[in-house]
Amino acid sequence: MVVVMAAEATASEVDHVVNVVQEAGGEAFVSRGEFAAIIGLSGDIERFAATLNLPSLPGVADVVRTSVPYKLVSREHRHERSVIRVAGVPIGPDTLTVIAGPCAVETPEQTLAAARMARAAGASLLRGGAFKQRTSPYAFQGLGEVGLKILADVRAETGLPVVTEVVDQRDVDLVTTYADMLQVGARNMQNFPLLQAVGAAGKPVMLKRGLSATIEEWLMAAEYIAQRGNLDIVLCERGIRTFESATRNTLDISAVPIAQRLSHLPVIVDPSHSGGRRDLVLPLSRAAIAVGADGIIVDVHPHPETARCDGPQALIEQDLRELASVAHHLSPLVGRTLTPAPAPGPR
């Protein structure tokens, strides 16, 4: 059970709820998010619910009682599926949102060219990593703040809001000043201090599923973000590790409808990091749209042969028209509108 305090609740109202619960023999864990305090309760939940009348205590906005361990992100808590807005661009049940861009920001020219490719492919958001989390310590780790500045310049030029990864809790403030949406990568899905920090950052978060994470673990990771007061979370299925070696990862397509049934959060698919092969990106994109994904996120690169990261999975110029056509033609068949790109120019 979780008690959500009103934004204007005072510290003494929070203390009062804690005291009431402790006097009844329970435990209360207070988490102070940017917008509101959230109190997690454990102990004899049935008795708390029956006798304490928590919703009537001063300062209490909501009492969330669900049978699942992830509370705030669960469909039991919020029946309607959520729409998350990234600088005004919607991701949700009525739309299909395409996010595209380079795996990593390398140069201003490469990033601008990739952003133009993204627009041509029907994308409304630009992806691109300035901080990269790489399996090898010898691989390109990203340009850091220089890369963030390039992304901001390219956003100003193309109008595409920016989705970019934050890999370290210490960089959350920095990345938040540039990003429109923060990405938490697969390898960081259970980096709990990072999840809490992005939960307090006040920007939407895209949470990738961990390489070996169950759907429940993925939703619990989202709960860490939500528990800090940020429910603007988009889940991203990016393939999981299996015995199969023909693909980089195995796209778990059934995770999309399952996560959508268990959680009200939007679920998108990354066909680039799951297949790891350019020739699979379009077929997997079709599968993702057909299964009901709320969006896709794809790698594009003007010169994949020289890419410093993930060149073999990046779409090239010749693929863009087909991706745009897939997104345009399939979205109405699944009852969705393709999210248009914001107009170029200053916001």
Q: Is 185 in the site for ligand PEP (CB under 6 A)?
A: yes
Judged by CB under 6 A, the chain residues 258 through 287 that form the site for ligand PEP are 270, 273
Judged by CB under 5 A, the chain residues 287 through 316 that form the site for Mn ion are 310
Tell me which residue of 297, 215, 288, 224 sits closest to 258, measured CA to CA.
215
Q: Is 208 in the site for ligand PEP (CB under 6 A)?
A: yes
Q: Which is nearer to ligand PEP, 17 or 251 (CB)?
A: 251
User: For 166-184, b where at least 16 C-beta lie within 10 A, e where not — what string?
Assistant: bbebebbebbbebbbbbbb
Distance CA 63, CA 247 (A): 44
Q: Is 165 in the site for Mn ion (CB under 5 A)?
A: no
Among 186, 288, 296, 315, binds ligand PEP (CB under 6 A): 186
Q: Which is nearer to Mn ion, 103 or 126 (CB)?
A: 103
Distance CA 207, CA 196 (A): 12
Q: Count residues contacting Mn ion (CB under 5 A)?
A: 2
Q: Which is nearer to ligand PEP, 208 or 301 (CB)?
A: 208
Report the residue closest to ligand PEP, judged by CB: 185
Q: Is 338 in the site for Mn ion (CB under 5 A)?
A: no
Among 119, 228, 238, 278, binds ligand PEP (CB under 6 A): 238
- Compute the least distance from the CB of residue 105 to ligand PEP, in Å: 11
Instruction: Concatenate the DSSP letters of all residues of 279-323 into one string.
Output: HHHHHHHHHHHHHT-SEEEEEB-S-GGG-SS-GGG-B-HHHHHHH
Distance CA 29, CA 337 (A): 42
- Compute the least distance from the CB of residue 248 to ligand PEP, in Å: 9
DSSP assigned state of 228: T
Q: Which is nearer to ligand PEP, 186 or 194 (CB)?
A: 186
Binding piece for ligand PEP, criterion CB under 6 A, among 74-82, 142-150, 179-187, 192-200: 179-187
Q: Is 198 in the site for Mn ion (CB under 5 A)?
A: no
Amino acid in the structure at residue 191 = N
Q: Which does 26 bind (CB under 5 to 8 A by kind): Mn ion, ligand PEP, none?
A: none
Q: Which is nearer to ligand PEP, 37 or 314 (CB)?
A: 314
Cβ neighbours for 146, distance < 8 A, ≥ 6 positions apart: 130
Instruction: List helix spans (H) across the chain.
Output: 11-23, 45-47, 108-120, 145-158, 172-178, 192-199, 215-226, 255-262, 271-275, 278-291, 317-333
Judged by CB under 6 A, the chain residues 90 through 119 that form the site for ligand PEP are 103
Cβ neighbours for 328, distance < 8 A, ≥ 6 positions apart: 122, 338
DSSP assigned state of 29: E
Judged by CB under 6 A, the chain residues 119 through 158 that form the site for ligand PEP are 129
- Compute the least distance from the CB of residue 347 to Mn ion, in Å: 27
Q: Which does 278 bind (CB under 5 to 8 A by kind): ligand PEP, Mn ion, none?
A: none
Q: How far apart are the first and last CA of the chain?
A: 41
Amino acid in the structure at residue 280 = L
Question: Mask: binding to Mn ion, 102-141, rule CB under 5 A, as x and -?
Answer: -x--------------------------------------
The answer to whether residues 110 and 126 touch, using CB atoms and an 8 Å cutoff, is no
Q: Which does 238 bind (CB under 5 to 8 A by kind): ligand PEP, Mn ion, none?
A: ligand PEP
Contact set with Mn ion (CB under 5 A): 103, 310
Contact set with ligand PEP (CB under 6 A): 103, 129, 185-187, 208, 238, 270, 273
